[in-house]
Structure 1
Amino acid sequence: MSNVEAEPTVMRSGAPVDDVRPAGVSRVDVLPARDVPLGGPRSMTVRRTLPQRDRTLIGAWCFADHYGPDKVTDGGGMALPPHPHSGLQTVTWLFSGEVEHRDTLGTHALVRPGEINLMTGGYGIAHSEVSTPRTTVVHGVQLWVALPEEHRNARRDFQHHVPGPVRMKGAEIRVFLGSLAGEVSPVRTFTPLLGAEIILEPRTAITVPVDPDFEHGVLVDSGDVRVADTLLHRAELGYVRPGADALTLTNESDGPARTILLGGTPFEEEIVMWWNFIGRTHEDIVEAREDWETSSDRFGTIEGFPGGRLPAPSLPNATIRPRRNPPRH
């Protein structure tokens, strides 16, 4: 997915100070979502929880859009023309609907519910995302992962995986990245990460062991879910600092509740993020934007898309300034 805001948020984030918390102790910060329209008058509106003022990263997760369920007849569905990415990986996870993906690797794939599609931008890639004609409702999340400096210019790549369900009393889990509940995803990442969908039965609670070196985020898609002693509502993201060796999730609803659990070791590098690019300096962003606008070989060409490319927004009239995660006490 592209960040097609007319004036994209300018971010520079850095590693916060150390925070050591006793194992098993969880403090949960509630991060609300903001509505962001993608495109024109019939645009699809997403609920964005990362990045925001109070937090720009959870592990290497740097972007989280939550959308739907939206009827295609009401909003036109997803229709994103070719657009670029660099310095990051994109993770597409659908709850319902179907999206046609094309990229400059030559990949032509259908994105379906319960199947992870991870694309590595690295030095540069472009792709398009369009709802298929048989799609009536679009619903899911689009996530981005910042690449560490060592791999920031990695080669383009596309991975597809269908994780099987892990059933435990009161819940069903699908692990699309990392490991949880005894399940390990084969999808390759460049930093330690966790990504999983957890569906909780009505009025049930589960406790799952997690890596205490990870910080975690719990994004609620449906229902009211209590994480430790903090209640999260739909579209809210609960942030848990490193140090917890288990997470307890309780569905306070009379119907099923669905969450996305994200995690990773704190990302210890300073990054600059603007539009669809991640770099280390303002100049990195300027160069990436220029390469896209001049149709350089950096991002390649998509075959088979019936239309033009998405132009880059104008750069801000100032050098990108720092915006960091709050200090960890």
Structure 2
Amino acid sequence: MLFIMTQVQVLGPREVPLGGPRSMTVRRTLPHRDRSFVGAWCFVDHYGPDDVDATGGMDVPPHPHTGLQTVSWLFEGEVEHRDSGGVHAMVRPGEVNLMTSGHGIAHSEVSTPATTTLHGVQLWVVLPEADRDLEREFQHHAAPLVSLADGVDGRVFIGSLAGQTSPIATRTELIGVEVTIAEGATWTFASNPAYEHGLLVDTGKVTFEGTPLDRGDLGIVDAGPAELTVVAESPTRAVLLGGTPYDESIVMWWNFIGRDHDEIVAFREEWQSRAERFGEVDGYAGRLTWLSAPELPGGRLRPRDRSGRH
């Protein structure tokens, strides 16, 4: 019998400041020079657990987005969300908030006074060409905790797994699941062979298809396997992400996703001039009225494909 080993691409995190002056530090695995997407997931920030008294918590002033959906998921703490679509909502553990920027949106994110520890992930989904000018939208879902296997519990916040389906609507086929795995437990699950899958380790240490992953690592398997296996070497929490391969090229710079350099330049100019494309965020009472865009780098921004190549 011929056994074929599943290849796992491991992306280690890099530390990045988030939110301008007095920024908080996050661990970023996507985008990466070796890969741009897992399905249409194009941005993975992992932060905490942070002692808010020591770090100051999260205070991200109103800032813009185009051409994407943001997905906020917390393990601990609470974040207040306000956007220019008129939405005022809280991000809490076990409850997913998905915001569609489409044509353009602005929003703020501030940890609440009751938060002592802040810990979670901030994710982006790139919208395909046909849907990138959608109107602003906000979706919320409290994902129930269910048993996925012996010693394995999970919350399906996007897509479907093990008979659980999230009502959150996306424009490409996606999956997003928080899983907790007891030490020594093995989780073998039926995976959609049309999907790429990525496993982000929040706490603990695992092997993913036989490949070791430490805290903060993102292990990625290309489309093909009909099942995947995770073995926990210590008590583990992880986030499973996946979806159908995203084959369009994009330009992603700062908080914008476009298709070429000139479009990004135009987005930046509109944000700096407070254009109607992005609207205004009411009720934010933080340290800045809005977050000014950084200067563009020298030279022209080039589109990148799913491999990370420009």
Q: Same fold (TM over 0.5)?
A: yes
Q: TM-score normalised to the size of structure 2?
A: 0.95
CA distance in 1 between counterparts of 2:131 and 2:172 reads: 10
Determine the structure 2 residue equivalent to 1:200: 181
- Contact 1:26–1:243 under 8 Å retained in 2: no
Which of 12, 15, 28 is the equivalent residue of 1:32?
Answer: 12
Aligned to 2:214: 233
Aligned partner (choices 251, 255, 270) of residue 291 of structure 1: 270
How far did residue 170 of structure 1 move? 1.1
Aligned pairs (5 A) from 1:203-282: 203-253=184-234, 256-282=235-261
**Preserved CA contact (<8 Å) 1:198 1:258:** yes
Larger relative contact order (Cα-Cα within 8 Å, sequence gap ≥ 6) = 1
Identity of aligned residues (%): 57
Verify the 8 A CA contact 1:23 1:244 in the aligned structure 2. Answer: no
- Give 1:65's aligned residue: 45
Q: 1:323 & 1:294 partners in 2: Cα distance? A: 28
Q: Which residue, 276, 280, 284 being the options, matches 1:301?
A: 280
Q: CA deviation at 1:318?
A: 1.0
- 8 Å CA contact 2:249–2:306 kept in 1: the answer is no
1:80-121 superposed Cα distances (whole Å, 9 cap, x missing partner): 000000000000000000000000111111110010000000
Please name the residue that 2:123 is paired with.
143
Match of 1:163 in 2: 143
Q: In the TM superposition, what is the alpha-carbon distance from 1:52 to its structure 2 partner? A: 0.9
Corresponding residue number in structure 1 for 2:133: 153
Distance 1:226 1:258 in 2: 13
Residue 321 (structure 1) shift: 2.4
Is contact 1:24–1:244 with CA below 8 Å preserved after alignment? no
Q: How many residues are aligned here?
A: 304
TM-score (norm 1): 0.90
Q: Deviations over 1:181-224 (max 9, x none)?
A: 11011000000001000100111111110100001110000000
Check conservation: 2:249, 2:304, Cα contact below 8 A.
no
The DSSP-based 3-state class of the residue aligned with 1:190 is coil
Aligned residue for 2:239, secondary structure, equals strand
Contact 1:170–1:201 (CA under 8 A) maintained in structure 2: yes
SS of residue in 2 equivalent to 1:217: strand
Distance 2:258 2:266 in 1: 10
Code of the residue aligned with 2:127 in structure 1: it is L
Change (3 A) 1:183 1:106: same
Deviation at 1:325? 3.9
Larger mean Cα displacement after TM superposition, 315-324 or 140-149: 315-324
Q: Which runs of 5+ in 1 are unaligned?
A: 1-21
Contact 1:24 1:245 in 2 (8 A): no
Counterpart check, 1:116 vs 2:101: no
Where does residue 9 of structure 1 map in the other structure?
none
